[in-house]
Amino acid sequence: MDFNKALDFYKQQRRKIIAQNYVGFVSSWDMETEAKENSILAESEQMAVLSELSYTLTTDPNFEQAVNVLWQNKDKLDEVLCHEVEVLQKDIQETKKIPMEEMSAYSVLSSQAYPIYVRAKTEGNFELFRPYLEKIVEFAKKQVVWLDGELHGYDILLDKYEPHYTQTQYDKFFDVLKQRLVPFVKQVTQQKPIVPAWATASYDVAKQKEFCEYLRDVLCFDKSRGIMKESEHPFTTSFGTEDVRITNHYYENNLVSSIFSVIHETGHALYEQQCDKALNSTLSGGGASLGMHESQSRFYENMIGRSKAFWAVHYGKLQQTFPTLQSVSLDEFVDYINLAERSFVRTEADELTYSLHIMLRYELEKELIEGDLKVCDLPKRWNEKFFDFFGMTPPNDQLGVLQDVHWANGSFGYFPTYALGSAISAQLYHHMQKDFDVEQSLQSGNTKAINEWLKEHVHKFGSSKYPDEILQYAIGEDFDPTYYVDYLINKYTK
């Protein structure tokens, strides 16, 4: 296959892969937000068939050959295509190393494990889920054997979610947290904070929606290229820059939950909407990595959404929407949304304690994949470690080892990207502030200036570069957790 033929074939196959990506996008959206439970059952079978079709597209020997020819001629490719081909080549080689029949068997195991996990969590019964988790961990360990090459062990799994980030990077990161943040958290959270009565009062759900739509507009989500809807758990999904969708969930007795969800998800959405449109016809659109994506959602949620400067402009509107808040001052409100408290559940954790929850999971994953930790000992080990970090013990496994779905999905290596994202957001914030007065820019009533900075420094590249390359381009530095710890200690010392 000569270069031109390879390029033609590549582009033809890429069109098909993009169309299959659209199928994944639209069918998961439908299952999460439209289809009834009975329908989902019938349709999950179709998803299995479609994922086989996707697998076939990626592992097509002609496609592999085309990718190889392009890679051998990389000097003839533009920067975007060159990166894309590099990533794909690695992808194809890795996918091929996993035996097809093992993949199929695992897909079946996965579907079976999920409802068992849900039941086990509901009943707080780890034993119910244990045999499934054992097989899931076993598959993860096999993956590590199949994919052994430049990387080894747990690093192989970490790299799948965050390219170029392995234990060397994460250990350095978490060591800093352990040395400086763990003792600080113990000190700050010694006293249990008092939750004001208004925080758990009743707030009309229709009005919450109205206010969340207002916030979405304040953050300049482009409604002509996306929608906002409801779902059980808030999430963002997209098909290129032209169709970006977010969801929210409203609780009558928890006003701030929907507020911070919409800010968080709009952060993800802006990353997608502000990518260079030219990348829509490539495989280099979307976010550069999970960590990079989380850095954007966390940036809007924490640096903007929890700042006094932001609420100085928008709190009046909130009070207007909910007269209950007329008697709550701006300072009281901002204090409340920045309360720090030790808690058992990651998804309910505040900004200060969040990454400690992640560190716990990271250390357990290392022990599971590379160490001697057995699945049957996992709940005990979870509780021991939890006590080390937080000085308290989960009363049951529902609030402990069973709380997250990630392991039931076999997503080992995913968790650390959450903490990484939070830390990158602080580093970006530091450098953004050197370029312009971020707090003052919020007085305009929207986040245009901030969006523009992030677009030019991060968003526009999509996934056409590795995340560490984007960070170098954006701020001329490698990842450095000091900014994050400084930011947290400074904020919570005040």
Of 38-46, 313-321, 405-413, 479-487: span binding its own copies (CB under 8 A): 38-46
At residue 152, φ and ψ (nearest 5 deg) are: -135, 160
374 counts as binding its own copies under rule CB under 8 A: no
Alpha helices in 300-377 (DSSP H): 308-321, 330-337, 354-369
Binding segment for its own copies (CB under 8 A), chosen from 15-23, 76-84, 196-204, 205-213, is: 15-23
Please report whether residue 27 would count as binding its own copies according to CB under 8 A. yes
Does 49 bind its own copies (CB under 8 A)? Our answer is yes
| Cα separations in angstroms, 267 against 212, 273, 299, 301, 303 | 13, 10, 7, 7, 11
Region of 240 (left: φ > 0; alpha: ψ -120 to 50; beta: rest) is left
Q: For residue 397, what is the DSSP state?
A: S
Pick the binder of its own copies from 168, 190, 224, 493 (CB under 8 A). Answer: 224
Among 2, 38, 194, 493, binds its own copies (CB under 8 A): 38
Which residue in the set 280, 319, 321, 441 belongs to the binding site for its own copies (CB under 8 A)? 280
Site stretch for its own copies (CB under 8 A), options 46-54, 84-92, 251-259, 383-391: 46-54
Q: Are 345 and 397 in contact (CB under 8 A)?
A: no
Q: Is 127 a catalytic residue?
A: no
Q: Shortest distance, CB of residue 15 to its own copies, whole angstroms?
A: 5
276 binds its own copies (CB under 8 A): no
Candidates 4, 5, 11, 53; binder of its own copies (CB under 8 A) is: 53
* First-last CA distance in the chain: 65
Q: Does 242 bind its own copies (CB under 8 A)?
A: yes
| Other C-beta atoms lying within 10 Å of the C-beta of residue 75 | 6
CA distances from 386 to 183, 189, 212, 225, 345 (A): 14, 15, 34, 43, 11
- Residue 62 is a binding residue for its own copies (CB under 8 A): no
Are the C-beta atoms of residues 247 and 33 closer than 8 Å to each other? yes
Residue 25 vs 251, nearer CB to its own copies: 25
Other beta carbons within 10 Å of 32: 17
CA-closest candidate to residue 228, choices 251, 257, 249, 207: 249
Question: At closest approach, how far in Å is the CB of 275 from its own copies?
Answer: 13
Q: What burial class does residue 173 get, using C-beta atoms within 10 Å of its C-beta: 0-12 exposed, 13-18 middle, 19+ buried?
A: buried
Coil, helix or strand at residue 167: helix
101 binds its own copies (CB under 8 A): no
Helix (H, G, I), strand (E, B) or coil at 8: helix
Taking the least distance from each CB to its own copies, the nearer of 41 and 376 is 41
Query: Judged by CB under 8 A, how many residues of this single chain contact its own copies?
Result: 33
* Using rule CB under 8 A, residue 30 touches its own copies: yes
Please say which residue, 17 or 309, places its beta carbon nearer to its own copies.
17
Q: In the 8-state DSSP scheme, what is residue 283?
A: S
* Tokens read off for 335: 């204090």
In the set 52, 134, 150, 265, the catalytic residue is: 265
Q: Does 111 bind its own copies (CB under 8 A)?
A: no
Is 239 a residue that touches its own copies (CB under 8 A)? yes
Q: Does 19 bind its own copies (CB under 8 A)?
A: yes
Task: Give the shortest CB-456-to-its own copies separation in angstroms.
Answer: 23
Which one-letter DSSP state was computed for residue 251?
B
Which residues carry out catalysis?
265
Q: Residue numbers of the site for its own copies (CB under 8 A)? A: 15-16, 18-19, 22-23, 26-27, 29-30, 34-39, 41-43, 46, 49-50, 53, 223-227, 239-240, 242-243, 280
